[in-house]
Every structure is written in C-alpha cells, then in structure tokens.
Amino acid sequence: MKICAVFLFTTLWLSAAAVHAADQTQTAQPEWLVQIQQQKNIRPEAMLQLAKSHEADFGNWSLAQQASWLSELSLIYEALGRHRDQLAAAERGLALVPDQLSKTHIELLYSMGYALEMHREYAQANEYYKKGMALATELKDEKLMIQGQLNLAAMLAEENQDQEALQTLKLAYERAVKLNDKETLASVNAELGLMYTMLMSDEEARKLLEESYRLFDELGWEKSKISVWYNLAMTYHYQSKPELALEIFDKMLKASLQAEDPVQTYYAYLGLATTSRGMKKYDAAVAYMEQADAYLPHLQSTYQLSEHHFEKALIYRALGQTSLAFQEVDLAAEQLGNQRNVSDKFYALHFDRLKARLYADNGDFEKAYNLFDQFFKNYVSLQDDKRDLQVQKLRLSFDAERQQAQNELLQKDNELQALRLLEIEHKRQMQWLWIGLFASTSLILLILLLWQWRRRRQSAAATAQG
C-alpha cells in the first residue's frame, strides 16, 4: 500500500539521461555541442558552463541546433535537480519544434514531462510522456521507446496501479536486454529496482539496484550512481539493516560534498536522519536534519519540500516534542498544496495519521480517534474491495495502539497517585517523628525539672535542720 512512504526520492536516473539528445540531421553539429551530448551525464556542471558560454550566439543557429541546445540544457538541469529551469528550457525547445518528428522533439517532450512530474503535475506529465512515446514508436527508435515505457510506468505507479507499472517495466527490461545498450540497461535496472522496493520485494530490489550502480559506475555517471546509492541505502533501511544503510549514506555524503552537489548532499543528510530515527538515535537525527535544512533552498521539487517537514515531524514526535511536531506536519501539508492526483491524496493521508497519533500522545483520544476514523474513510475511498482486509487490520492496529496508550496513561496516573500516597505517608511519618521528638524532649525536660525541684527541696530541708 502507498500509505507508508517508501523514500520519496523519485529522481530516477534522470528521465532522459540515457538518451543522446541530438538529432542526426544533415547539418553537422558543432564540436562543442557534441561534447555536451557525450559528457552531460559525466560532468553536468562543466557542460552547463560550456552550454551557457555559447548562448550569445543562439540567434545565429539553425532551428534544429537551437532546439538541440535547449534539449541538452534541459537534461543538464534535470541532472542538477533544477526542475524549474528544466521546465523553462523544455518549453522553449518545444515551441521551436511543435510538430517535428525527431529525436530532439521526443526528448523535449520527455524532459517537459519529467519537470512537470517533479512539480506533481502528473496529468500533464503523462500527456507529454504519451505523446513522446507515440512519436518514438512512429520513428521506430528502440531506445526512446524503452525510455517512454519507463516514463509511463512511473506514472502508473504514482496512480497506485502497481501491477500495470510492474508489467510495463518488465517489458522495458526485456527490450533493454535485447538492445544490449549499457545506458538503457542501467536506467531500466534503476527504475525496476525502485519499483520492487515499493512492492516490498527488497532482496530483488537490492540486486537490481546494485546492477544499476555497477553499470552507471562503468559509464562514469557519478550523479546517477549517487541517486542509486540513495535508493539502495533505503532498501537496506527497509530490510532492517540500518548499519549498511548508514554506511552507504555516508559514502553518498562524502561524494556529494566532494562534487559540491547541494541537491545530492541534501538527500544524503536526509537519508542519514531517516535511518538514525529508525535506530532511535534521535539526537543524531535532529543534527542531520539541521544539516539538511542548509541545503533545502536548492530543492525544486514540491513533493520533497513536503517530505522534509514530514520527516522533521516524525523526529520531533519521537522526542516527545508534540507541539513542534504539529507545526512541522502542518508545514508539510501546506507545501504539498492541493491534492491534484491519487499519489498526493495517498501521501496526504500521512498527515492525518500522524496528527491522530500526536493527539493520542497528548491524551486527547477523542480527537485522535475522530481523525483516525476520517483517515480510514479517506483511505478506503482510494482503495478497491481487495484491500478491505488490509484496512481492517490497520483499524484494529490503531484500536490496539489507542487502548495501549490509554492503559499507559492510566498506569502513569496510578503511579502518580501512588507517589502522592507515599508523599502523604512520608509527611505523616515525619509528623509522628517530630511529635515523638517533642514528646521525648518534653519528658526529659520534665524529669530534669522534677529532679531540680527535688534537689532544691532536699537542700532547703537540710538547711532547716542545721
């Protein structure tokens, strides 16, 4: 089920990263543009500088070269996680070749779709993906057709159609094996590995992700390797192997810092925080999230901004800081905004579920139960009949947790009453002790007074006899 977030890093190998962006047109591409096409996934920062250095000549190029330059620029922005810039470049490119049957046109459609996907505009993204896939089929370009299948599978998964998504990915995998292209195989393995993680087939996911990492390593695509690292580490996290997850996240952090990549650095810190929380190392989790905060301005994915605040809310709840947790979960909902698609609706359920638990933590069980009841109604509305049993299990689980929380609260109340009784008994004992001491002291003084009185009488009697 989608109610438990799998790790929300959906930068899957950079949607069109495995595809050469230039068309094989009659006009030869300039050497610098060919260099960008060949090295954009190996040295994206350097290639961005190279592309920008020629921007002043844009008006002197042919239409095909202008579109190709914008396509490459959008893919570089994608690799760098700059999705707003990617969207702008893809829009400009598509305006130049609106009806052209070419590789460049298809890649611009895929790039446009991916940028929209990162902004949670799934309906629009899917339209661009479908149009690109149709053109790729018409062009009979096997590599672009496989890329289209990967894009469409991602959309199916986001719409909670897991079986259809898996079937599409398996078809893409079979075609990629036949094509025997390393770039395509690396991308397919990465996407299929992520899908298996979402389906909780962690061991199969691990094998696919490790193969993807190996292929990206051979290609020298460092940013793609780091993305796979994140997914692989999270797979270990869900396999209850947190030490292995931390080890990979640490490698990811070092590589990202060395590459001066703020986006990947953010994800490394986020992974370290999430895993530390799972290990109940809450102070470490807070420290890592504070480090991640510094890189948050570099993110251009609305979903990840929401996930950031949600993770902080989970950490604050674990620390017993319910007020701060409430603030963060409200920020997470605000960042997500309107729920425009099924995936958003499923994700928004996390907020109600967490807030219900926070109310329960505060002992406000009526609010907690009402909110959880609403959560179940919304959850059921997004499911089919086959998942009713799963829903009932969730409801029973929460009822048990609610009863346990009430029992714990009652136990604490009983303990408090027992402490109060002990305190009263202690005060009573102290009162009797002081009464005893006063009585003893008074008796001793009385004895001394009697003794002195008797001595004075004896002394007076002796004097009278003398």
Question: Could you read off the pLDDT of 151-160 as tens digits, one per residue?
Answer: 999 998 887 7
- Identity of residue 116: L
CA distances from 40 to 47, 75, 84, 132 (A): 6, 8, 18, 21
Q: Which DSSP category does 30 fall into? A: P
Average pLDDT, the chain: 82
3-state secondary structure of 26: coil
Say yes or no to pLDDT of 294 above 90: yes
Q: How far apart are alpha carbons 206 and 9 in whole angstroms?
A: 16
Q: Which of 8-12, 119-123, 183-187, 386-390 has the largest mean confidence?
A: 183-187
349: which residues sit within 8 A by CB, 6+ positions away? 3, 375, 378, 379, 382
Q: How far apart are alpha carbons 306 and 294 in whole angstroms?
A: 16
Question: Could you read off the pLDDT of 33-60 as tens digits, one per residue?
Answer: 999 999 999 999 999 999 999 999 999 9
Note whether 215 and 180 are within 8 A (CB): no
Higher pLDDT, 359 or 429: 359
Say yes or no to pLDDT of 19 above 80: no
Question: Could you read off the pLDDT of 197-255 as tens digits, one per residue?
Answer: 887 777 888 888 999 999 999 999 988 988 899 989 988 888 888 999 999 999 999 98
3-state secondary structure of 10: coil
Q: Identify which of 319, 382, 381, 317 has the alpha carbon closest to the alpha carbon of residue 355.
A: 317
- Range with lowest mean pLDDT among 54-58, 167-171, 339-343, 455-459: 455-459
Say yes or no to pLDDT of 165 above 70: yes
The pTM (predicted TM-score) of the whole model is: 0.72
Question: Could you read off the pLDDT of 297-326 as tens digits, one per residue?
Answer: 988 777 788 899 999 999 999 999 999 999
3-state secondary structure of 16: coil
